[in-house]
Structure 1
Amino acid sequence: MILGKSLLIKLGSVYLALLLIFLMMDVNARPANMSAHKDKSPNSKEENEILPPDHLNGLKMEMDGHLNKDFHQEVFLGKELEEFEEDSEPRRNRKKLKDIFSKVDINKDKSVSAKEMQRWIMEKTEEHFQEAVKENKLNFRAVDPDGDGHVAWDEYRVKFLASKGFNEKEVAEKIKNNKELKIDEETQEVLENLKDRWFQADNPPADQLLNEEEFLSFLHPEHSRGMLKFMVKEIVRDLDQDGDKKLTLSEFISLPVGTVENQQAQDIDDDWVRERRKEFQEVIDANHDGIVTEEELEEYMDPMNEYNALNEAKQMIAVADENQNHNLELEEILKYSEYFTGSKLMDYARNVHEEF
């Protein structure tokens, strides 16, 4: 049947109206504080090759001071994190989870203790470290085209601006001849922050050149104690409102959250504040004096801190420990699979419970 022209126009108008409504709903439903690393754009991979990422796998806090909401899954799954997708086949995910449980359960008593979970967390964190090292080799080549093993700040600046859409040859020529670069204020601010980080990563004797190892510290400060300190100072600087270089609870929970326009957004904001308050009071503020110092935040951020790993193991066990024996059985991990893997397998587990 051939549709009339007027009818087609009406249908097109309805479609556009519905599309507009959908887009508006999506914007309002999305909290403003969601991590930028979740937004995958066609150009993001190229840019991320040379730009320090906001999100670092295996760290409890993002580079911008937000809590890493995927931390538990990252330190439980390691490289297998991407395999547990919400729309993937439940039976296959259940089998993977069972395999992981058997690896964590070192003494094969069909129960995971805090010590076993601690060992596993440390192992998965090291796995993230090795993955970052591997990626860094490729990223370093992108900014060291002449292959001399060193990158100057100006060389990096050219590549960074090129990734932002500037003409690489024109930028290189202007920098070479000390001519002014016409850069927008936002990009200039990012460059200034990157320059501070660049010189911080330049180990003594400072030569303003980064080798591959120093470039790794630049992109991944968790690999360097000195850079970890610098990262902590940046976070404290961004959150510290009274300039005392310490954080109070009110300062820690004052980051901008979602724009509250409906009850759903309000619930998201309330959950966000509640989560940050709990982390501040129960974990970061080690001496429970209501103040977080740079030293306390550094210990909290250190991914290879064994005490933190044990504390994290106990917290993870407490989430799913229904029989209160301070260990985890396979059935408990499966029931709380969304916490450990991001995939909800509980309903499926009820249907196949006899397989256990």
Structure 2
Amino acid sequence: MTSRQAPHCGLAPRCLWLLGAVLLMDASARPANHSSARERVGNREENEILPPDHLNGVKLEMDGHLNKDFHQEVFLGKDTDGFEEDAEPRRSRRKLMVIFSKHDRAPVSELQSCYQGLIVSPRVDLNTDRRISAKEMQRWIMEKTAEHFQEAIAESRAHFRAVDPDGDGRVSWDEYKVKFLASKGHDEREVADKIKNKWDLNVDEETQEVLENLKDRWYQADNPPPDLLLTESEFLSFLHPEHSRGMLQFMVKEIIRDLDQDGDKQLSLSEFISLPVGTVENPQGQDVDDGWVRDRKREFEELIDANHDGIVTVAELEDYMDPMNEFSALNEAKQMIAIADENQNHYLEPEEVLKYSEFFTGSKLVDYARSVHEEF
């Protein structure tokens, strides 16, 4: 699977931002993932060699659910320190305003750096006019997404070393399978012996299904001619499909397959907003389901269905889910501004960012009007 080189952004400054190699998709049974990023952090180490079922900076989860942390992920990047639930409010407000517009006291060399042509700024408000335009937000989204890419690459390298015990720079499907089953509690040496001698592994039905799905994705990540041996960059594509064009297509087709009810390999609005399996048993559950439909309907109509014909094709869903898509980033920037743009001037101002801090950071900062005067 050929990894993609990041395209030049049609922004000023122009950005050739993140590499070409990469990343994951969860083709396993894909259970619904309703947990937030903060709840998921504690569970990652246990299954570190598994493809994550959540991809930072990608709009949909592997099971087709909306990524409810997306806006915080592309606004804060990997630096969420200071916006925890128990963070001191004044510190959170000050940090939010630093992100918005202020220069830090650090020297310019520390505040600005260049990564493969992308000039990284320490603030969203690049021209310091105390308001954020759609173009400024677009640039910021792409910078923060690039941070997630770099973080994923570093993690993938560590995981690759863990599953490449002989250090030959290539991982066989059998080597990976041994490590995977060991992470599930099986004896590593015993599993290795069974695989070597082609004996029955005696795994339960659920584990066998996961293995079959993982092997399918392994084949997809294996560049031709296929040999079932993954290099470090191919392993990155296995773990993170959103940065490999072929793996992104595979991920999109899997999501459409799960949501497509009439078998036409595209999605109608009714298919996209269909409620998950289960019935509403109480009023609180009804509120949750009403929110599900409302959020997905808005996402379908405003962002995914590019030509507004009521049908989402594979190509439209690919563009929507592609973190490197400059046009999608601009649309997302406009939508994020519209959420908080109370004076309808198509810009974000400090008061609006603080008032809607929960949308941008996950933290609700009270007394936002006074905070603006304090921080400026």
TM normalised by structure 2 equals 0.82
Tell me how far apart the structure 2 counterparts of residues 110 and 171 of structure 1 sit (CA, whole Å). Answer: 61
Deviation, structure 1 residue 145: 1.5
- How far the C-alpha of 1:253 sits from its partner, in A, is 1.9
1:279-318 Cα distance to aligned partner (Å, 9 max, x none)? 1122111112221111111111110100011111110111
Are 2:337 and 2:347, in contact at CA under 8 Å, matched by a contact in 1? Answer: yes
1:317/1:327 contact within 8 Å kept: yes
* Alignment-derived partner of residue 71 in structure 1: 70
1:329 aligns to 2:317 (yes or no) = no
1:174 matched to 2:194? The reply is: yes
Structure 2 residue 140 is the aligned partner of structure 1 residue 140: no
The answer (yes or no) to whether the contact 1:112–1:328 under 8 Å persists in 2 is yes
Which amino acid counterpart does residue 318 of structure 1 have in structure 2? A
Q: Aligned with 1:79: secondary structure?
A: coil
Q: In structure 2, how many angstroms separate the alpha carbons of the residues matched to 1:77 and 1:186?
A: 37
In structure 1, list runs of 5 or more residues that go unmatched.
1-31
| 1:39, distance to aligned residue in structure 2 (A) | 4.8
Contact 1:36/1:54 (8 A) holds in 2: no
Q: How far apart, CA to CA, are the structure 2 residues paired with 1:35 and 1:354?
A: 35
CA shift, 1:254, in A, is: 2.2
Q: Which residue of 1 aligns with 2:314?
A: 294
Query: Amino acid of the residue matched to residue 368 of structure 2?
Result: A
2:93·2:371 contact (CA, 8 Å) conserved in 1? no
Could you report, residue by residue, the CA deviation over 1:116-144 in whole angstroms, capped at 9, with x for unpaired residues? 11010111111111111111111111111
Question: 1:250 corresponds to which residue?
Answer: 270
Q: Does the CA-based 8 Å contact 2:33-2:53 persist in structure 1?
A: no
Residue 259 of structure 2 corresponds to 239
Residue 42 of structure 1 deviates from its aligned partner by 6.7
**Structure 1 74/37 Cα, relative in aligned 2: closer, same or farther at 3 Å?**
closer
* Residue matched to 1:341: 361
Structure 2: distance between partners of 1:322 and 1:36:
27
Q: Give aligned pairs, total.
A: 323
Instruction: Considering fraction of residues, name the structure with more helix.
Output: 1
Q: Return the offset for 1:36.
A: 8.2
For residue 127 of structure 2, the aligned residue among 92, 104, 107 is: 107
What CA deviation, in whole Å up to 9, does each residue of 1:13-71 have, x standing for no partner?
Answer: xxxxxxxxxxxxxxxxxxx7614866559764131x21111100000111111110110
Residues 88/141 of structure 1: CA separation in 2 closer, same or farther (3 Å cut): same
In 2: Cα distance, 1:281 partner to 1:175 partner: 49
Please give the per-residue CA displacement for 1:242-268, whole angstroms capped at 9, x wherever unaligned: 222111122212251675332222101
Task: Give the structure 1 partner of residue 54 of structure 2.
Answer: 55
1:199-348 superposed matches below 5 A = 199-256=219-276, 260-345=280-365, 347-348=366-367
Q: Structure 1 residues 41 and 170 mapped into 2: Cα distance closer, same or farther (>3 Å)?
A: farther
What is the root-mean-square deviation of aligned Cα atoms in Å?
1.8
Amino acid at match of 1:227: M
Identity level (%): 74
Contact 1:334 1:349 in 2 (8 A): yes
Q: 1:258 to 1:97 in 2, by over 3 A?
A: farther
CA distances 1:67-89 after superposition (whole Å, capped 9, x unpaired) = 10110110000012254112210
Contact 2:172-2:229 within 8 A present in 1 as well: yes
SS of 1:217's equivalent? helix
Aligned partners of 1:209, 1:238: CA distance in 2, in Å?
A: 29
Is the 8 Å Cα contact of residues 59 and 71 (structure 1) preserved in structure 2? yes
Cα pair 2:132 2:348 within 8 Å, conserved: yes
Output the TM-score relative to the length of structure 1: 0.86
What CA distance in whole angstroms lies between the structure 1 residues aligned with 2:188 and 2:237? 25
Equivalent-residue separation in structure 1 for 2:33 and 2:240 (angstroms): 22
Contact 2:357 2:363 in 1 (8 A): yes
Query: Residues of 2 paired with 1:258 and 1:93: CA distance?
Result: 39
Query: Contact conserved, 1:75 with 1:121, CA < 8 A, in 2?
Result: yes
Specify the code of the residue in structure 2 equivalent to 1:268: V
> Equivalent residues in 2 for 1:85-100 (5 A)?
85-100=84-99
Distance in 2, Cα, partners of 1:255 & 1:148: 47
1:141-190 alpha-carbon deviations (Å, 9 max, x no partner): 11111111110001111111111111111111111111111111111111
Cα drift, residue 322 of structure 1: 1.2
User: Residues 73, 94 of structure 1: CA spacing in aligned structure 2 closer, same or farther, 3 A cutoff?
Assistant: same
Could you say which residue in structure 2 is the equivalent of 1:80? 79
Greater Rg, structure 1 or structure 2? 1
CA distance in 2, matches of 1:233, 1:310: 24
Q: Distance in 1 between matches of 2:94 and 2:308?
A: 42
Structure 2 counterpart SS, 1:104: coil
Partner of 2:172: 152
- What SS does the aligned partner of 1:228 have? helix
Contact persistence 1:246–1:292 (CA under 8 A) = yes
Question: Is the 1:61–1:67 contact (alpha carbons within 8 Å) kept by the matching residues of 2?
Answer: yes
- Provide the rounded CA distance (Å) in 2 between the counterparts of 1:69 and 1:291: 23
